[in-house]
Amino acid sequence: MLSVDLIKLTLFFTFILLLGSLKTMAYQFKTTEKKLTSKIPKIWRLMIFTVALNAGFSVSAADLPDSLALIQQLGIQQDDLSNLERSKTVNFDLVEGNEKELAAGVAIYLPASPDKIINTIKNKGLSAIDNDVTAEGIIHKQATQESFKKFSLKAGSDEAENFMAATPGNEFNLSTGEFQSIKAASSESTEAASQTYRAILQQRLQAYRQNGLKGIATYDRGNGTEANPAEELRSATQDSKLLARYFPDVYKAWLNYPVAFPDGTDEGFYWLNRRVEGRPTAILGHRVIVSSAAGEVILARQFYVGHSYNSNQLIIACLPYLDGSLVLYANRNFTDQVAGFGSGLKHSIGREQMRGEIIKRLRNLHKAIK
């Protein structure tokens, strides 16, 4: 079905050329017909595929004008084709759903097959592409507090002291009950702080595994206000219209977890200790790898983050292109820091910072597959 839509898209584009509404591109098409014939359908297919996963657009025949308009809004130009082939990055925009959301996308061409790229990420871990990850681990099915033993707060650090004295607010992402459990621990030792944090991580993991998004506790911001990572992640998932269309069983399981994923889907959990804003940050993640004839897709959500931002969901799509793969990294981050007064400026700055981080990770991925 996808290939039929792609043929229709190509025919539609050719029709526009004949009408003369894209004169410059028509000239390029005439002078480099063979080159463009081989490249444009692939690059467009990838852009539509990945952006629709995150931005909620369909690639059905009835929506062809919207798909073409979407590509134009992304700013994908003919020059970008040659830039991608030289492993330069190309930015594309994603629509942000609310004032707490930062969304951005980056594309790159890598000289490796889709399965090699995905296996590199899977086998080497996020630390291979994210320099801020200081520790990580796979979480097995029968997880205990021992599963997080490599996560610890540094002895004598302000972070450990502040954690044990934490109260509702923006410094730590904790529920009302979790703040109460810290207070009940009444210990000033770093190891006690680390053990308390590990217990919270285990409880968060168990609640998510048992109840999915419904099991994610809100963050108590004080004064009767909360942040709701569950609703943020639900919204990000519901915007993944193409995922729902072409991988409906995966989409349903992703949205309604712990509904089982279909056979052949690679599912896993992980924890990270990552430096964010100069602070150690405990992160719990759930990732799914979907393989198809069209390429490879990674879905990943951070359903608990220790501080600074509320939640994160990303999609990495890899499709065969030339002698390697085109990789699109589409990221959605939710944080209270960009809401409120000056939200527009905060979004602009935050979006560029996030895009810069994505580019660093893709560069590191390029090095990791060599």
Question: In whole angstroms, what is the distance from residue 11 CA to residue 286 CA?
Answer: 40
Among residues 60, 86, 112, the one where a domain terminates is: 86
Question: In whole angstroms, what is the distance from residue 130 CA to residue 127 CA?
Answer: 5
Residues composing the chain: 370
> Does 132 lie in the same domain as 53?
no
> Does 299 lie in the same domain as 265?
yes
pLDDT tens string, the chain, 370 residues long: the values are 444 443 343 433 333 333 344 334 333 433 443 443 444 444 555 544 555 555 544 332 223 223 333 334 446 566 777 787 788 998 887 888 889 999 998 988 899 999 999 999 888 887 789 999 999 999 998 888 889 988 888 888 889 889 999 999 999 999 999 999 998 887 778 888 889 999 999 999 999 999 999 999 999 999 999 999 999 999 999 877 667 776 788 899 999 999 999 988 999 999 999 999 999 999 999 999 988 777 888 999 999 999 999 999 998 888 888 888 888 898 999 999 999 999 999 999 999 999 999 999 999 999 999 8
> Does 227 lie in the same domain as 106?
yes
* CATH number of domain containing 236: 3.30.530.20
Among residues 63, 86, 109, the one where a domain terminates is: 86
Question: In whole angstroms, what is the distance from residue 101 CA to residue 111 CA?
Answer: 32
Query: Which residues have C-beta within 8 Å of that of residue 278, sequence separation ≥ 6?
Result: none
Number of domains in the chain: 2
Query: Which residues have C-beta within 8 Å of that of residue 285, sequence separation ≥ 6?
Result: 269, 270, 271, 272, 300, 301, 302, 303
Q: Is the dihedral of CA 246, 365, 314, 73 positive or negative?
A: negative
Among residues 55, 86, 117, the one where a domain terminates is: 86
> Does 62 lie in the same domain as 149?
no
Question: What is the reported pLDDT for 33?
Answer: 39
> Does 129 lie in the same domain as 50?
no
Listing from the earlier edge strand, what are the strands of the sheet with 279-292? 90-92, 101-110, 324-334, 311-321, 295-305, 279-292, 266-276, 133-139
> Does 75 lie in the same domain as 164?
no
Helix (H, G, I), strand (E, B) or coil at 301: strand
DSSP 311-345: EEEEEEEEEEETTEEEEEEEEEEE-GGGSSTTHHH
Going from the C-alpha of 96 to that of each of 14, 105, 231, 304, the distances in angstroms are 32, 12, 14, 21
Alpha helices in the chain (DSSP H): 2-19, 23-31, 33-55, 64-74, 78-85, 114-124, 158-164, 176-185, 190-211, 229-238, 241-246, 248-256, 343-368
> Does 211 lie in the same domain as 73?
no
> Does 256 lie in the same domain as 137?
yes
> Does 96 lie in the same domain as 31?
no
Residue 42 and residue 326 in contact, taking contact as beta carbons nearer than 8 Å: yes
Residue 205 lies in domain: 87-370
What is the phi/psi pair of residue 35, to 5°?
A: -65, -45
What is the phi/psi pair of residue 226, to 5°?
A: -140, 160
Among candidate residues 47, 40, 35, 31, the one with its CA nearest the CA of residue 11: 40
> Does 266 lie in the same domain as 226?
yes
